[in-house]
Structure formats: C-alpha cells, structure tokens
Amino acid sequence: MLTSGVFGMQGDPELSQIVEQAAKTTDFPFAAVSIVDRSRLWLAVAYGFDPREFPRPNSFCDAAIQVPGFAPLCVSDAWCEPRFKFAPAVIEMNVRAYYAVPLVTSDGFALGTLCLLDQKPRTVDATALGLMTALASSATAAIDRERNAVAHARYAINELSTRIRFAVADEDDAMVELLDEELRKMEAKLQPSWQAQAR
C-alpha cells in the first residue's frame, strides 16, 4: 500500500494503544495515526471508527505536516475556517474539531500525524497538547524502528527524488545541490543488511 515506514503496520498493537490513550486521556471520541503520501492519507490505526483512506488535498493532515516548526495544528471548529470546510473528514465524518501533532522522524520528515477528532466544536488546553506531543514521539519511535527502516528510507528517497525533479525544472541549482546532498545521506543509510532484506 504505502512505501513509508508504516508499511504493514495497519492495526499495530503499539500504535493502537497510543491512539487509545490519546483519545481517552483527552476525552475525544475519535483519534488516529495518519500517514500521508503524495495523493492520499492513510490511517494506520484509529480509535472510535474504522481506519480508512482519505484524499490528501484539502485534508487536515496535509495541513498539519506543513505547519512551520512542526507545531501542533489546532482547529476548534472547521466550519469557521474556510480552508477546512471541504476537508474529507468534514464531509465524510462531520468532523468539527481537529487537533494533530506531526510524526517527525529523526531525519526530519513528517510522515503523518497523531490526531484527535470530534463532531462538535471544542478546544484543548496546553496539558492535552503536551500529552499529544509525547504520544506522537512514541508513535514515531514505533514507526521508525529497524523493522521499518528499509521502507522508511525508500519513502524518504522517493520524496527527495521528486523534490529534486521539481527543483531541476525550476532551474533552482542551489536547491538541487542541497537536496542531492540529503539524498546521498539517505542512500548511505541503506546498509548492506537492509539491502539484503529488500531483495
């Protein structure tokens, strides 16, 4: 399905426990670990509803991984924010409130989010956001372990290669050089033992 580090992690017990803890501690009816690829977002695990896929464009999670500094995205009422009125979760699940913390790997890639959802407007306090940040780190650690390292590296390489192609098309030589350096670092992480697993 996906080539990121969550390949094969649908229903993962550790991620499921993290999501359940996030929902119950904050008293949210829904929570999930979402993973974003080029065209869609995929829920690896979910609490309160069945995991599913959504289109990436206009989605909450796409916006969440683009927040500067990977800060939490806080939407108390999606109906009051024009950019989210047509978000897939709003249309398909009648979601009004959405709070998310990006899942950022040690390589600086936001793979997706740990998110809380509600069908009514609501706010959360700093304590809840702090808990979500800690749980997001735990979720990232679960995704980023050695058993997923090959898939994660491949995902990052694909993303970097795509960004390089755009930079070349834009004739942005400085960006090409920067991305090429990052690509070489990522390829170097594919150790022989990982390459053997990939065959």
| Placement of tokens 């009514």 in the chain | 120
Q: Which residues pair with 54 in a beta bridge?
A: 41
The per-residue pLDDT for range 98-145, each reduced to its tens digit, is 999 999 987 788 889 999 999 999 999 999 999 999 999 999 888 776
Rounded distance, CA 189 to CA 16, Å? Answer: 29
The three-state secondary structure class of 97 is strand
Amino acid identity for residue 153 in this structure: A
Q: Taking the domains of the chain in order of start, what are their residue ranges?
A: 13-144, 148-198
Backbone angles phi, psi at 52, to 5 degrees: -155, 180
**In which region does residue 27 sit, left (phi positive, over 0), alpha (psi from -120 to 50) or beta (all else)?**
left
CATH topology of domain 13-144: Beta-Lactamase (3.30.450)
pLDDT on residue 195: 42
pLDDT tens-digit map of 153-162:
677 777 788 8
Give percent of the chain with pLDDT exceeding 70. 84
- Contact assessment for residue 28 and residue 22, using Cβ atoms and an 8 Å cutoff: yes
Distance CA(38)–CA(92), nearest Å, equals: 21
d(CA 143, CA 141): 5
59-to-36, 84, 109 alpha-carbon distances in Å: 10, 7, 18
pLDDT digits (tens, 9 = 90+) for 16-44: 999 999 999 999 999 999 988 777 788 88
Read off the pLDDT of residues 65-93 as tens digits, 9 standing for 90 and up. 989 999 999 999 999 999 998 898 999 89
Element at 74 (helix H, strand E)? strand 73-75
